[in-house]
A and B are shown apart, each in its own frame.
Chain A
Amino acid sequence: MKISGAQAIIQCFKQEKVEVVFGYPGGAVLTLYDALYEANFPHILPRHEQGAVHAADGYARATGKVGVCIATSGPGATNLITGIATAYMDSIPLVAITGQVTVPLIGRDSFQEADITGITTPITKHNYLIKDINDLPRVFKEAFYIASTGRPGPVLIDIAKDVFAATIDFKYPTHVNLRGYKPIGEGDDQAIAYVYQELLQAEKPLFFIGGGINLSDTSTILRKIVSHTGIPVVSSLMGLGCIPYDDPRNFGMIGMHGTYAGNMATTETDLLIGLGVRFDDRVTSLVDDFAPKAKIVHFDIDPAEINKNVRAQIGVIGDLKWSLAKFYEMVRKRPADEWEKQVAPWREKLLSWKLARPLTYKSDSKKIMPQEIIETISNYTQGQAVIVTDVGQHQMWTAQYYHFQRPRTLLTSGGLGTMGYGLPAAIGAQVGLPDRQVICLSGDGGFMMNCQELMTVADLNLPIKIFIINNQCLGMVAQWQRKFYGGRYAHSCLKTKADFVKMAEAIGVAACRLESKTDMPHIINEVLKKDGPFLVDIRIPEEEDVLPMVPSGAPLDQMIMGG
């Protein structure tokens, strides 16, 4: 039986076990929307296409499934760009579907025409333009396959409007046939054996974990390796949660706002074992001075990551599911007490750094300190909540002070650093995990960048708790201006007549302002227990810095300390 292209897409969704799509209609996708309507397919309507793509991204990060979003041609498609780039930088599996003008109109600057495949080529893993309905089933099969396998990433499918209406004898391919795409699952066992040999020689081995552990769902096997060997662990922003915060072998985040112990360990280690990391400049600072005394070993699924930013003595290319399982088999054969003998002195050294220079801040008898807010939320949620942030100081305080216990619980734009990510990504996470506590931590700047999504939260009655860590300025920008621009606050002040509480209430989200320090713990506790959505506007001092801080260009052991 023949069905329309639009109906065929619904069939593709079903074949790919898509549970929900995030989208915004318009001329070029009307036929598709009609099919969604007819099929009563679960669909979330954000209030901006950027909201749709970040929501699909949040859904994907929280659940591990492919996020799907839809936008119309032209402005609808271009509104997706920031979200696609955000997902690309953090390797998040997305399928973004955009409508395109009809085939005869392509290339003529037609109404609402934008070359979205051209525009998104550098920020997608792959993209397609479908002009012939006969390509549709194959393209969808390939797109979901490419997005979710190997190093995941966003794939865009641009579909000419007439394809939605054309008809096809629908048959979904059972497998893909891509000569140029063979994701590496199992790599070279020998490379892991070399790593093991190096490890036996090392006196100061250090695991450096990143987003790859989250993406490959290998936190369990990693924990086994760490608990058997006792080797200390440091993490990038994206790896937080893969090892419990309070694990005695965990020394937290490294990099520009990393812990003292973590950054010192990175400077002193003689064997740095990178697991699913990409040695971003926010972590390495000056790349030539990064881990200066170490041999570097790099486990990654993407061969292009090996030797991209830092030179690795050994690269272990393959899925971490395979490589870490193999690695565990090797380390397990050696008794735990022998490992302990080898690494305990080094771990003690890290512990002494940690005790000497822990993360600290000056508390104030009257003012609510941002770090205290994060600690309080962390306490009441026992580090179990799904935390979604925007970008800036509050993001770094969250990374430093929330006691993450589980993988896939910190959803944050690490690579692109996208302000405005938080609220829509929290929507996606809550839709994907309806029974989990989802908390959005925003700055007063970033929150405004997608605040229209409060309507989505209100109308769907999503029980997201939103905390605006309100310093009445673009905090991270102001911090740099304070430190490096003589305190000249060029356009970073956000003192405003606007009232977040009234705004939330007008939209239909209950809200309160929190200014009193004594009220802080119990109000936060009350809010976390509420059934529906809730927004809290918390006033914090304007001039608090995120510390420690490695000034850009300095080596990691040169930190400006806090407290």
Chain B
Amino acid sequence: MKYTLAVLVENKPGVLTHISSLISRRAFIIESLTAGYTEETDMTRITMVVEAGDEYELQQVVNQLSKLIDVIKIIDLTGQDRIHRELALIKVKATPADRAEIVNIVEIFRAHIVDVNKETMIIELTGEESKIDAMCELLKDYGIKEIVRTGRVAISRAPISAKEM
């Protein structure tokens, strides 16, 4: 099963090395990991999607990560009422003949075209992973040249912040 963790860490050099080293040393399976600044300048927030067989395995991931000195807090968002999103940039082949159809798809998915040239288009799409997967599936027919995805970011819908949980 997949679990979504919000990991609050000190915004210090070496933190990501410590985290990635731990993940590989303990043979944890991480589906995606994104990091970025937060509402506090000295804190970074990592959203991690972890593949774990059961609760015990997940607990190991949480407990081992918690041992890292620079990890301030870990919140399991999996069971919670939450919103999660991913952003994808997709470069798709767009011959003049195909363009209208692609624009159609883009509109259906509420995506944006952020760049166009003679041969290709770049489409920006934000949404849950399944939505991005679905759009990529459709665009395949036209020829996808490149996909970049950020990995999942997640936030709980509760009226408090993760660090207060």
Q: Knowing A122-B25, A129-B14, say if A304 contacts B71 (CB, 8 Å).
A: no
Interface assignment of A486: CB less than 8 Å from any CB of chain B: no
A303, B13: Cβ atoms under 8 Å?
no
B60, A117: Cβ atoms under 8 Å?
no
- The 0/1 profile, CB within 8 Å of A marked 1, for residues 54-72 of chain B is 0010011001101111111
Measured between alpha carbons, how far is A181 from B18 in the docked complex, in Å? Answer: 14
User: Which of A180, A304, A306 has the most B CB atoms < 10 Å from its CB?
Assistant: A180
Contacts of A303 in B (CB 8 A): 63, 66
User: Which of B9, B69, B71 has the most A CB atoms < 10 Å from its CB?
Assistant: B69
Measured between alpha carbons, how far is A430 from B69 in the docked complex, in Å? Answer: 33
Contacts of B41 in A (CB 8 A): none
Checking B14, B66, B68, B69 against A117 with a beta-carbon cut-off of 8 angstroms, the contacting residue is: B14
Which B residue sits closest to A146, measured CB to CB?
B69
Contacts of B63 in A (CB 8 A): 303-304, 306
Interface assignment of B117: CB less than 8 Å from any CB of chain A: no
Interface assignment of B17: CB less than 8 Å from any CB of chain A: yes
Q: Knowing A179-B10, A180-B10, A180-B70, say if A121 contacts B17 (CB, 8 Å).
A: yes
* Distance in Å: Cβ of B126 to nearest Cβ of chain A: 31
Interface assignment of B95: CB less than 8 Å from any CB of chain A: no
B22, A179: Cβ atoms under 8 Å?
no
Measured between alpha carbons, how far is A308 from B57 in the docked complex, in Å? Answer: 8
* Distance in Å: Cβ of A159 to nearest Cβ of chain B: 14
Interface assignment of B80: CB less than 8 Å from any CB of chain A: no
Interface assignment of A126: CB less than 8 Å from any CB of chain B: yes
Interface assignment of B150: CB less than 8 Å from any CB of chain A: no
Measured between alpha carbons, how far is A129 from B72 in the docked complex, in Å? Answer: 20
Measured between alpha carbons, how far is A311 from B68 in the docked complex, in Å? Answer: 23
Which A residue sits closest to B63, measured CB to CB?
A304
Checking A118, A128, A178, A302 against B17 with a beta-carbon cut-off of 8 angstroms, the contacting residue is: A118
Interface assignment of B38: CB less than 8 Å from any CB of chain A: no
Checking A129, A181, A308 against B69 with a beta-carbon cut-off of 8 angstroms, the contacting residue is: A181
State which residues 84-122 of A face B: CB under 8 Å.
117-118, 121-122
Contacts of B34 in A (CB 8 A): none
A121, B60: Cβ atoms under 8 Å?
no
Contacts of B9 in A (CB 8 A): 180
B56, A180: Cβ atoms under 8 Å?
no
Interface assignment of B78: CB less than 8 Å from any CB of chain A: no
Contacts of A178 in B (CB 8 A): 69
B interface, size bucket: 20 to 34
A304, B21: Cβ atoms under 8 Å?
no
Number of interface residues of A (CB under 8 A): 21
Contacts of B59 in A (CB 8 A): 307
Contacts of A181 in B (CB 8 A): 69
State which residues 286-320 of A face B: CB under 8 Å.
302-304, 306-308, 311
Measured between alpha carbons, how far is A117 from B70 in the docked complex, in Å? Answer: 15
Contacts of A302 in B (CB 8 A): 67
Measured between alpha carbons, how far is A53 from B73 in the docked complex, in Å? Answer: 33
A121, B18: Cβ atoms under 8 Å?
yes
Contacts of B72 in A (CB 8 A): 179-180
Measured between alpha carbons, how far is A180 from B64 in the docked complex, in Å? Answer: 13
* Distance in Å: Cβ of B156 to nearest Cβ of chain A: 20
Which B residue sits closest to A123, measured CB to CB?
B25
* Distance in Å: Cβ of A147 to nearest Cβ of chain B: 11
- The 0/1 profile, CB within 8 Å of A marked 1, for residues 20-53 of chain B is 0110010000000000000000000000000000
Contacts of B73 in A (CB 8 A): 180
A308, B66: Cβ atoms under 8 Å?
no
B64, A304: Cβ atoms under 8 Å?
yes
Contacts of A311 in B (CB 8 A): 56
Contacts of A129 in B (CB 8 A): 13-14
B56, A122: Cβ atoms under 8 Å?
no
Q: Knowing A178-B69, A307-B59, say if A122 contacts B64 (CB, 8 Å).
A: no
Contacts of B64 in A (CB 8 A): 304
Measured between alpha carbons, how far is A343 from B122 in the docked complex, in Å? Answer: 75
A307, B14: Cβ atoms under 8 Å?
no
Measured between alpha carbons, how far is A46 from B71 in the docked complex, in Å? Answer: 37
B71, A180: Cβ atoms under 8 Å?
yes
Measured between alpha carbons, how far is A121 from B16 in the docked complex, in Å? Answer: 11
B13, A307: Cβ atoms under 8 Å?
no
Can you list 16 A-B contacts (CB < 8 A)? A121-B17, A121-B18, A121-B21, A122-B25, A125-B69, A127-B14, A129-B13, A179-B72, A180-B10, A180-B70, A181-B69, A303-B63, A304-B60, A304-B64, A308-B60, A311-B56
Where the two chains meet, the residues of B that have a C-beta atom closer than 8 Å to any C-beta of A are 9-10, 13-14, 17-18, 21-22, 25, 56, 59-60, 63-64, 66-73
Closest 7 CB pairs of A and B: A304-B63, A121-B21, A180-B72, A126-B69, A122-B25, A179-B72, A181-B69
**Other contacts beyond A126-B69, A180-B69, A180-B73: 17, CB < 8 A:** A117-B14, A117-B17, A121-B14, A121-B17, A121-B18, A121-B21, A122-B25, A126-B68, A127-B14, A128-B14, A178-B69, A180-B68, A180-B71, A304-B63, A306-B63, A308-B60, A311-B56
